[in-house]
Amino acid sequence: MSAEELGRIALFDGLTAEQRDRLWSAGTEWSFGPGDVPFHEGHPADFWWVLLEGTLSLNRRVGAQETELGMMVNPGQWAGGFQAWDAHGVYLATARGVQPGRMLKVPAEALGDVAREWFPFGVHLIGGLVNTVRSIEAKARQRESLVALGTLAAGLAHEINNPASAATRAVDALDRASEALGSSLRRLGESGATAEQFVELDTLRRSLVARAAEPDAVAAADLEEELSDWLADHDVERDWVLAPPLAAAGADPAFLERAAGVLGTDQLAPGLEWMASSLAVDGLLGEIREATHRVSELVGSVRSYSQMDRSLVQRTDVTEGLESTLVMLGHKLRGGITVVRDYAPDLPMVEAIPGELNQVWTNLIDNAVDAMKGAGTLWITVRGSEERTGAATGEATGAATRGGVDVEIADDGPGVPDEVIAHAFEPFFTTKEVGKGTGLGLDISRRIVVERHGGEISLSPRSGGGAAVRVHVPLRPAEG
């Protein structure tokens, strides 16, 4: 065939014979048969393809499925070549031969050269349009990231505020308890208590601490009242101050009788005050220890979530990332959300970018909580998966799905209709109200799972109501 064939195609109307010859010489003729694939979705669009004869289908991945967008049946229909004016241009679909035919395959660089020479103003407009669209998309993605960061920061502040406030209150109370402890110890010495009495009293206190248990609220209140009555009957002042720490430690009136047997009349009040203050100090130290340990756990979760000081690709425990994400979103899960975990034992480690996977888990869990409007059940299921063949993956259709880890995040919200599932992973598609979503969460998740890790992600209705998102993370990212 020759360049004369281009003259019979409407696409090339307006070109001179010399221009058609140059374009034909710059490319090559590519013959295809049923099932042949000239280009893949997401790959660099480094060639311009023009249909000369035959039929191809254009397909695009939506979740884990490939959807047919249209057909190339008329000579002159074209695809790709975007790198002629956009260095980052990629194919927007995968083409697959249906009926045998031929295509003109022109390198994008050659197309760009002739386009700039023949239509400089048009190329300028196209380049401006591409840059404008990319700028808008970049700003939208940046806003999505900032919104997510703000949400996580607010959640972290909320999570840290509780243990920090508890530690602050405990420190203030500890200051008062320490003052009372020193004062009672001095009074006990001034009352003439002997070293033997103090040793016996301390032995009683230690036995009380050793057998202390967590009483229920009603029993604790009743015990406080009994101890307060006993202290008042024995002329011990400030019974309302001494009774709570004694009751919290498990002391009862019989225990106070034993303490009274050790102490004389003059030593009873300062001795019991010393014991109560000592127990209060122990309890407050425990509260501070628990609060600071909680803060330390939160900091550890943040480090795990953000993957600070770690390499990009590493051996990753998927459940660790899920757990740190649940901690980061804890403020959204309290109140009406029940989290049901189902993690299989002996899950394999995967080679992945954990910080990016955590972003996926954040998007999916956040979407599920929003769908349930803050009340419902969130199921997180993790299973190991064996290598299987014949599945559609993020690579070519028919490639093997490598073993790895399967994660399902499901909710019992209102569910998702088929028309939403068909577009859920498209950029800027959202069912949320204006101002509450950018439509990039699932698109970003798909890019991370499919393009960055060679995995799979899909959305489907959940049996029994609600929706389920399934993610397959392979043992190692796809090469390239």
Q: What is the DSSP string of 183-204?
A: HHHHHHHHTT--HHHHHHHHHH
The per-residue pLDDT for 393 is: 35
The per-residue pLDDT for 398 is: 36
Tens digits of residue pLDDT in 202-216: 888 888 765 555 556
- Distance, CA of 384 to CA of 347 (rounded, Å): 6
Tens digits of residue pLDDT in 220-279: 788 888 889 998 888 888 888 888 888 888 888 888 888 888 888 888 888 888 988 888
Residue 78 CB partners (closer than 8 Å, separation 6+):
11, 48, 49, 50, 51
Residues in the chain: 480
Tens digits of residue pLDDT in 131-187: 776 666 666 656 666 666 666 666 667 667 778 888 888 888 888 888 888 888 888
- Distance, CA of 231 to CA of 10 (rounded, Å): 104
Going by C-alpha positions, the residue among 396, 305, 403 that lies closest to residue 354 is 305
For the domain 3-118, what is the CATH code?
2.60.120.10
Residue type for position 14: G
Total Cβ atoms within 10 A of residue 155: 17
pTM for this structure?
A: 0.47
Taken in order 105, 107, 112, 117, is the CA torsion positive or negative?
negative
DSSP state of 11: G
The per-residue pLDDT for 397 is: 34
Q: Where are the domains of the chain?
A: 3-118, 156-297, 314-474
The per-residue pLDDT for 265 is: 81
The per-residue pLDDT for 57 is: 92
Contact 405, 317 (CB under 8 A): no
467-474 and 314-316 beta bridge pairing: unpaired
Contact 144, 441 (CB under 8 A): yes
Going by C-alpha positions, the residue among 77, 76, 75 that lies closest to residue 58 is 77
Establish how many alpha carbons lie within 13 A of residue 386's alpha carbon, considering only the half-sphere containing its beta carbon: 2
Superfamily for the 314-474 domain? Histidine kinase-like ATPase, C-terminal domain (3.30.565.10)
Residue 85 CB partners (closer than 8 Å, separation 6+):
112, 115, 123, 126, 127, 130
Alpha-carbon dihedral angle through residues 119, 124, 128, 129, given to the nearest 10 degrees: -10
The per-residue pLDDT for 213 is: 54
Contact 406, 382 (CB under 8 A): yes
Please, where are the H alpha helices in 212-264? 217-233, 239-248, 253-262
Total Cβ atoms within 10 A of residue 49: 22
Burial bucket for residue 421 (CB in 10 Å: 0-12, 13-18, 19+): middle
Contact 20, 76 (CB under 8 A): no
3-state secondary structure of 96: strand
In order along its 480 residues, the chain shows pLDDT tens digits of 567 888 888 888 888 888 888 888 899 999 999 999 999 988 888 999 999 999 999 988 755 567 787 899 999 999 988 888 877 788 888 999 999 999 999 999 999 888 888 888 777 777 777 677 666 666 665 666 666 666 666 666 766 777 888 888 888 888 888 888 888 888 888 888 888 888 988 888 888 765 555 556 778 788 888 889 998 888 888 888 888 888 888 888 888 888 888 888 888 888 888 988 888 888 888 888 888 877 777 676 666 555 544 557 788 899 988 988 888 787 778 778 999 999 999 899 999 888 788 888 988 998 898 888 888 999 999 999 875 443 333 333 333 445 899 999 999 988 888 777 777 777 655 655 544 444 567 888 888 888 888 899 998 888 888 899 999 999 887 654
